[in-house]
Amino acid sequence: MSNYSYNLNREEVVFAKLYDVNVSYKNLNAVCDAIRYLNVNDAMKVLDGVISMRMPILYKRYNKHMGSRSELGGRKGRYPEKAAEEVKRVLANAVANAGNKGLDGESMFIVHASSNKTVIVRRNPSRGSLAWGRGMYGRSSINHSDIEYAKIEIGIAEVNEKLSKNMKYFIKKNNSAAQLSASAKKGAEAKKQKPAKAAKDSPKKDSDKKAEAKKAAPEAPKGVPSEGKKDFQKEAKPAAAPKKEESAPSSEK
């Protein structure tokens, strides 16, 4: 189940993931359903409300024997604080990844939010080796509990033509027109600033380095053959000072 992921065009979407989280995947599913297709700022407010136990999360499934909440209009819900904290961490990482790409993460929308089970670890009560093999304690015990780890994946993107029809529909449904226009303006401003930052921060390519090295190297004279150009371009050693001529001993006595 750990291989489930976003299966559409990934070019315009910025992702963040977290693996092997010791949180109930059922609570994570409910939290991801609550923030999907929301603006990033609104999603942060929802998560903060759940952590502070001011806003319950609606449970559309896994809600057997669960109490109803007046804040949800009598529907079933609860306050999954631990799950909300982990989802908030992943969402903050997605916003930071968007900033590294020159985008305004806070003006983007959550187009993908999912959680799945990854690893199931068996736990057994340990009471010594004397009871092993008797069905009481240890490895052969009948009663045991499992740890189920989960994966969280969140993707944020701007509203553009490359998103699917369903994504556009639910983004318009769950957000006001003012939020959509404001996010579009911020996204346009971020795109204008992106080329200037990329030109400053982009490292020089190997071809550019070779061109600069050729300009810095001295040109060989026309009479020098092509084989001897490499030797000529090497740094010339400083010429040694001429030795003083010693005067010859006179033959006169």
CATH number at residue 193: 3.90.470.10
Confidence at residue 179, expressed as pLDDT on a 0 to 100 scale: 73
Confidence at residue 92, expressed as pLDDT on a 0 to 100 scale: 94
Is 9 a member of any domain?
Answer: no
Place of tokens 């052969």: 140
Is 25 a member of any domain?
Answer: yes
Whole-model pTM: value is 0.66
Confidence at residue 163, expressed as pLDDT on a 0 to 100 scale: 85
Is 70 a member of any domain?
Answer: yes
Q: List the structure tokens of 63.
A: 């809600």
Are the C-beta atoms of 28 and 115 separated by less than 8 Å? Answer: yes
Angle at 239 between CA 238 and CA 240, to 5 degrees: 115
Please list the pLDDT of the chain residue by residue as tens digits (253 residues): 446 778 777 888 999 999 999 999 999 999 999 999 999 999 999 999 999 999 999 999 889 889 899 989 999 999 999 999 999 999 999 999 999 998 888 889 999 999 999 888 877 666 555 555 555 555 556 666 788 999 999 999 988 888 888 888 888 888 888 777 777 766 666 666 655 554 455 555 566 666 666 666 555 555 555 555 555 455 545 555 565 555 555 555 4
Structural domain containing residue 193 = 14-200
Q: How many domains does the chain have?
A: 1
Confidence at residue 46, expressed as pLDDT on a 0 to 100 scale: 93
Are the C-beta atoms of 147 and 20 separated by less than 8 Å? Answer: no
Confidence at residue 6, expressed as pLDDT on a 0 to 100 scale: 80
For residues 40-73, one letter each, b for 16 or more C-beta atoms within 10 angstroms of the residue's C-beta and e for the rest, the string is: bebbbebbebbbeeebbbbbeeebeeeeebeeee
Confidence at residue 107, expressed as pLDDT on a 0 to 100 scale: 87
Is 220 a member of any domain?
Answer: no
**Residue 14, strand partner residues:** 156
